[in-house]
């Protein structure tokens, strides 16, 4: 489904990713761990199509097609979703209006009619229940004045509404207390299927206690330096990055 080959990226002429390879098959859950500044968010952003980053070499294929020249909105419509590490505040745009516009755009792309207001509301309510969010949420401005935890939950709420095929969660666990973490993990687990894949970027093992990954990769200085099964994350937790990345 996703195949990244020898990817090299820079921001403001600073090289960040230095030849990264990654392959994700349908239904797989990959965890990417690594120290601060190793390039995790860069990887997520480049897959999503953020043009602040320059791709200097290599390729990203999705469904056997290079997506480097494809706009972010088209990538989203193909089924790629990124949960932002730092979700953007948008004053004056309510959560419900945001979701409605996104869902409508996705449906339009698939040649489907817009959902009726009541069907949309029903779907929103279901997913909000799943994530234990209260309904006052819908009328608030997007992320404005949200706590860290609320922002992250809002990201997973969008994920649940859009049901993407490839979800990239960029440090969705940071800033969540243990209860919120369980709720989010539960939400993600409900969305796992044979078709849907996840890339879970995290600093800590603890999210992986609730979402068990098929593969774990360690990213260091713009490269994947080690890959393995779920045990790798435990080893990392015990021994620290220094030991593993040296």
Ligand X SMILES: Nc1ncnc2c1ncn2[C@@H]1O[C@H](COP(=O)(O)OP(=O)(O)O)[C@@H](O)[C@H]1O
Contact segment (CB under 8 A) with other proteins among 65-73, 129-137, 176-184, 237-245 equals: 65-73
Closest CB to other proteins among 81 and 241?
81
> Smallest gap, in angstroms, from Cβ of residue 245 to ligand X?
13
In this complex, which beta carbon is closest to Mg ion, that of residue 40 or of residue 217?
40
Residue 45 within binding range of Mg ion, rule CB under 5 A: no
- 90 makes contact, choosing from other proteins, Mg ion, ligand X, none, with CB < 5 to 8 Å by partner type, with other proteins
Only one of the segments 35-43, 44-52, 196-204, 220-228 lies at the binding site for other proteins (rule: CB under 8 A); that segment is: 44-52
As measured in angstroms, the least distance from the Cβ of 220 to other proteins is 26
Based on CB atoms, which residue is closest to ligand X, 99 or 155?
155
- Residue in 105, 120, 123, 234 binding other proteins, rule: CB under 8 A: 105
One of 16, 20, 33, 41 touching Mg ion (CB under 5 A) = 41
User: Can residue 109 be called a binding residue for other proteins (CB under 8 A)?
Assistant: yes
Contact 2, 66 (CB under 8 A): no
Task: State the minimum distance, in angstroms, from the CB of residue 37 to ligand X.
Answer: 4
Identify the residue among 53, 98, 157, 241 touching other proteins (CB under 8 A).
98
């Amino acid at each position: 489904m996703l195949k990244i080959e020898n990817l090299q990226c820079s921001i403001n002429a600073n090289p960040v990713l230095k030849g990264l390879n990654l392959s994700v098959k349908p239904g797989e859950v990959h965890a990417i761990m690594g120290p601060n500044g190793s390039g995790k968010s860069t990887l997520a952003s480049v897959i999503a199509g953020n043009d602040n980053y320059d791709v200097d070499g290599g390729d990203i294929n999705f469904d056997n097609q290079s997506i480097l020249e494809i706009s972010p909105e088209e990538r989203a419509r193909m089924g790629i979703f990124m949960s932002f590490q730092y979700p953007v505040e948008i004053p004056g745009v309510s959560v419900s209006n945001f979701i409605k516009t996104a869902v409508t755009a996705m449906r339009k792309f698939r040649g489907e009619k817009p959902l009726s207001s009541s069907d949309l509301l029903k779907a929103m309510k279901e997913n909000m229940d799943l994530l234990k969010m209260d309904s006052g949420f819908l009328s608030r401005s997007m992320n404005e004045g949200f706590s860290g935890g609320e922002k992250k939950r809002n990201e997973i709420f969008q994920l649940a509404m859009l049901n993407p095929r490839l979800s990239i969660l960029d440090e969705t666990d940071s800033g969540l207390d243990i209860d919120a973490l369980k709720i989010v993990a539960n939400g993600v687990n409900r969305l796992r299927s044979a078709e849907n894949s996840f890339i879970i970027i995290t600093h800590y093992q603890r999210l992986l206690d609730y979402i068990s990954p098929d593969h774990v990769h360690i990213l260091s200085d713009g490269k994947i330096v080690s890959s393995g099964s779920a045990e790798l994350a435990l080893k990392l937790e015990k021994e620290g990055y220094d030991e593993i990345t040296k």
